Chain A
Amino acid sequence: MSRLEYPLYRVGAVVVVVGALGVAVLLNVSLTADDPVSRYETARAAIQLGDALGFVAAGGLVFGIGVGLALGGLRAYHEEVSDR
């Protein structure tokens, strides 16, 4: 089995998907202590983050572009090297 059967862009895509799932889980599961103040603080942080959706969307978009650039480049590399 050659190295190209596991092209980097696919490995990268898998890493991105797993990472995204991890972040989604962390965003929705609180790991803090059980005391009232900690629960209140965590909930308040989530609500404040929800109030800043514009920044979240912009940050996510720019982050996605960065990841897309790398994955797109790797895919082009894979196609080019496979064709030679």
Chain B
Amino acid sequence: MSRNTALLVVLLLAASLAVVPGSVAGGPGSVADEPGSLSITSAGITADYETPESVCTGDSQRLVVLLENGDVVSDEVALFEGTSFRVVLCTADGGESTPESTDAWGLTGLDAFERVNVDSHWIQLKATAKTNSTDLSMHLDGRAGENTRAPRVAVRSTGGTSTGHLDQPKTVYFFDETARRQFRAGRDEYEGSVTKARNLAKTLEAGAGAENPIAAVNRSVLASYDERLASLESASDTVEDALLTAAVRGNADATAAYLEHRKYHDKEMTRLEESLAAYLGAVEEQAGTARLSVTGVLLGSVVVGIGVGGVIGQTVSLRDLKRIRRKRRRDSTVDYHLGNLWKVFLGAVLALVGSLGVLVAGPGIELLFKVLV
């Protein structure tokens, strides 16, 4: 299974779990009990709120906080901004603890919380502002003054972090400052890499459209291509890892942001790759024309040279060989051999060395080697 497939499976799983029936969108999660120690609970990954009937036990009147991840809080809890939770009033009028109907009680004067839903036995609140600690019993209306125990609820602000680099930005909640800082650093690095990649793509696109593409772009620009590509991939991995972490912890917007980021990243990569392909295509087309010219001129000049050299070589050799023939008439021990052609062979060797000299003095052997190999 490829990395992307595995990530997608994790994401889909997280996304499906993150949408809990009855929950309010935007809740990034909660911090369980013990203010001061931010142990993170995974809101959205577990099933659902506990039912009021199941949490009312004992023989005293008390308020109970139910969290989206199934946690039940009766003493202290710290929540992140945006988290929803339900409050149940358990009464024990007849000796047995039962959830009190919300017709008989309410919660008022809560500045840091917004009432978002009411059921027959619970009131759903959403933490909307940072607050140190709120004793819910102080805000109980209807059954106030009846010695009600209640949890204290604090709201911590992690602040949402925008995926501002995307076409459709999302606000993603990270469940601790370290993760948030890592994401922001990764996002900033990614934006920097995208800017550099876009500049490179623009240069290559301009080079591809130029009249003389090879002169329009320096070698160093091409040499930076692999580095730009690797930097873009690496920065994207950091962003993806951070978004995946947030998504797995139940932030549905992080899942959407991850998918949006993948789309955005693929678009940037495609543009960069296409700009390179276009530029190299233009350069190789220009080189193709040059290659044809070189081939034509080289073969043409060689053919002409062979013609000229052939006539000269044949004329000189025939004259020398006729001299040998005349010698043979006088002396039967004289015979023909290839050494009789020493003049043309010497001329041929000198010409070959000369041609090599011309090519070395002109374009150079290195250039020839680059073109031929």
Q: Do the two chains bind?
A: yes
Give the chain A neighbours of B340 by CB distance below 8 A. Answer: 77
| Complex Cα spacing A79 to B347, Å | 20
The reply to whether B306 and A77 form a contact with Cβ atoms under 8 Å apart is no
- List residues 132-163 of chain B with CB under 8 A from any CB of chain A: none
Q: Does A59 contact B (CB under 8 A)?
A: yes
- CB A50 to nearest CB in B, in angstroms, measures 3
Interface bin, chain A:
35 or more
- CB B1 to nearest CB in A, in angstroms, measures 28
| Complex Cα spacing A16 to B302, Å | 10
Give the chain A neighbours of B291 by CB distance below 8 A. Answer: 27-28, 46, 49-50
The reply to whether B283 and A40 form a contact with Cβ atoms under 8 Å apart is yes
Q: Does A18 contact B (CB under 8 A)?
A: no
Convert A37-78 into 0s and 1s, putting 1 for each residue whose CB lies closer than 8 angstroms to a CB of B: 101111111111111111111111111111111111111110
The reply to whether B295 and A64 form a contact with Cβ atoms under 8 Å apart is no
Interface bin, chain B:
35 or more
- List residues 354-373 of chain B with CB under 8 A from any CB of chain A: 354-356, 358-359, 361-363, 367-368, 370-373
Of B29-37, B166-174, B219-227, the stretch lying at the interface with chain A is B219-227
The reply to whether B344 and A70 form a contact with Cβ atoms under 8 Å apart is yes
- Across the two chains, which residue of chain A brings its CB closest to B358? A59
Given contacts A27-B295, A40-B280, A74-B341, contact A52 B305 (CB under 8 A): no
Q: Is the interface of A mostly helix, strand, loop or mixed?
A: helix
| Complex Cα spacing A63 to B356, Å | 8
Contact of A65 among B309, B321, B370 (CB under 8 A): B309
Given contacts A45-B371, A64-B304, A72-B309, contact A55 B358 (CB under 8 A): yes
The reply to whether A63 and B351 form a contact with Cβ atoms under 8 Å apart is yes
Given contacts A50-B291, A55-B362, contact A66 B370 (CB under 8 A): no
| Complex Cα spacing A54 to B145, Å | 107
Q: Does A23 contact B (CB under 8 A)?
A: yes
| Complex Cα spacing A62 to B308, Å | 10
The reply to whether A73 and B341 form a contact with Cβ atoms under 8 Å apart is yes
Give the chain A neighbours of B368 by CB distance below 8 A. Answer: 49
Given contacts A59-B355, A77-B336, contact A66 B349 (CB under 8 A): yes
Give the chain A neighbours of B356 by CB distance below 8 A. Answer: 59
Contact of A56 among B222, B297, B308, B341 (CB under 8 A): B297
- Across the two chains, which residue of chain B brings its CB closest to A22? B372
Give the chain B neighbours of A30 by CB distance below 8 A. Answer: 284
24 residue pairs from A and B, CB less than 8 Å apart: A28-B288, A30-B284, A32-B373, A36-B222, A41-B370, A49-B294, A50-B294, A52-B362, A57-B297, A59-B298, A59-B362, A60-B355, A61-B355, A65-B351, A66-B350, A68-B306, A68-B312, A69-B344, A69-B345, A72-B309, A72-B310, A73-B345, A77-B317, A80-B322
Residues of B within 8 A of A (CB): 214, 219, 222-223, 225-226, 276, 280, 283-284, 286-295, 297-318, 321-322, 324-325, 328, 336, 338, 340-341, 343-345, 347-352, 354-356, 358-359, 361-363, 367-368, 370-373
